[in-house]
Amino acid sequence: MTDSLHRDQAAGLRAMLNQVPPEVLAVVPCGAASMRWMARQALQRAALGQRVLAFDEWQISGNFSDCVGVSPRFDLQQAVEGLVSLDDCMAAGATTGGDAGSDACGLHVLSVAKLARSINEDRILQQRTADCLLRLQAVSDEWLLLARPCDLTGLSSFARAAPRLLLVIEPQERAITQAYAALKRLVRGADTLAVGVCVVSADEAATRLLISRFTQLAESQLGIEVQAVSSLGEALCLAGSHGKELGGHAGHSFAEKLLGRARSATTTAIMGFSRGPAMAW
């Protein structure tokens, strides 16, 4: 019986390693209309037969989960810590013509608001998160990382480990400023190889002008090549500079990059704490 169990475990491990890893895209929606656009795009991908898994970092009203009509009961961190199962954390969205929560739905949502904040603080949590992501790749074709526009702490380790980043912006000053700030943070050591931008606007002329100005500014001031896209499908096909393919950076490689970035952030924090402020006696 023991030999049979070992054979089953080995077979399961080989199957996991031989799976085609999902495509990974970090998305920074800048504005309420941008989030709604992302939700429609994700639902359309699911309706086309893609198994889409969205990791939602937002914890406010109007987040991605709200826009697709679901409410995850638990944060992924609770599954990583063994408090609940992965199934308990997943919420199924509604595809076109379907109902939210349907087993046939191709879109599932995980809340990672808590995990995204705490992953840099605990090495055990980091390793368990990477292991969890390896298991999750068996149930999805595409991963969408719904990241918050950067604040003082910058983009999350999830977003910075992704091979592709999509900025979804509205033709408003605040949204454009948020998107540019995210790019500035990205310059500082992120592993992202390809960046796209999509403007959510019915005014085609204004959209073309804004994209032109934004991409030129990113190139001249930050040295980042930003590619214009009009759909989620195009963003998932983004290639890096000089046409570099990104297939080898998906799935388990993303989990490894996330683990590396989180550990690096932990080490930096520990070193800063150990130095401490100068004491005046």
End-to-end CA distance of the chain: 68
β-bridge partners, 197:
167, 228
* pLDDT number for residue 13: 47
Nearest-10 crossing angle of helices 123-136, 252-275: 170
Strands 107-111, 91-92: pairing kind: antiparallel
Per DSSP, the chain holds a count of helices (H) and strands (E) of 12, 8
Torsion, CA 247, CA 252, CA 253, CA 256, rounded to 10: 170
Tell me the C-alpha distance between 232 and 142, whole Å.
Answer: 11
Element (H, E) at 152: none
* pLDDT number for residue 21: 82
Report residue 214 as tokens.
């934004």
* pLDDT number for residue 93: 80
β-bridge partners, 92:
108
For the chain (length 281 residues), average pLDDT per consecutive 10?
Answer: 46 52 93 95 94 93 92 96 95 63 73 92 90 89 90 75 93 92 76 86 92 95 93 90 44 75 60 42 24
| Residue 176 near residue 210 (C-beta atoms within 8 A) | yes
* pLDDT number for residue 5: 43
In order of 101, 173, 205, 218, 251, the CA distances from 178 in angstroms are 33, 9, 22, 13, 28
Task: Detail the DSSP E strand segments found in the chain.
Answer: 23-30, 52-56, 91-92, 107-111, 142-146, 164-169, 194-199, 226-228
Read off φ and ψ for residue 110, nearest 5 degrees: -120, 130
DSSP secondary structure code for residue 30 in this structure: E
DSSP secondary structure code for residue 149 in this structure: P
DSSP secondary structure code for residue 100 in this structure: T
* pLDDT number for residue 245: 44
* pLDDT number for residue 267: 53
* pLDDT number for residue 189: 57
Read off φ and ψ for residue 19, nearest 5 degrees: -65, 145
The predicted model scores a pTM of 0.81
Report residue 33 as tokens.
């209309």
* pLDDT number for residue 121: 86
Can you list the domains of the chain with their CATH numbers? 22-269 (3.40.50.300)
Q: In 10 A of CB 231, how many CB atoms?
A: 13
Element (H, E) at 211: helix 204-217
| Residue 18 near residue 137 (C-beta atoms within 8 A) | no
Nearest-10 crossing angle of helices 173-187, 204-217: 30
| Residue 2 near residue 151 (C-beta atoms within 8 A) | no
What letter represents residue 204's amino acid? E
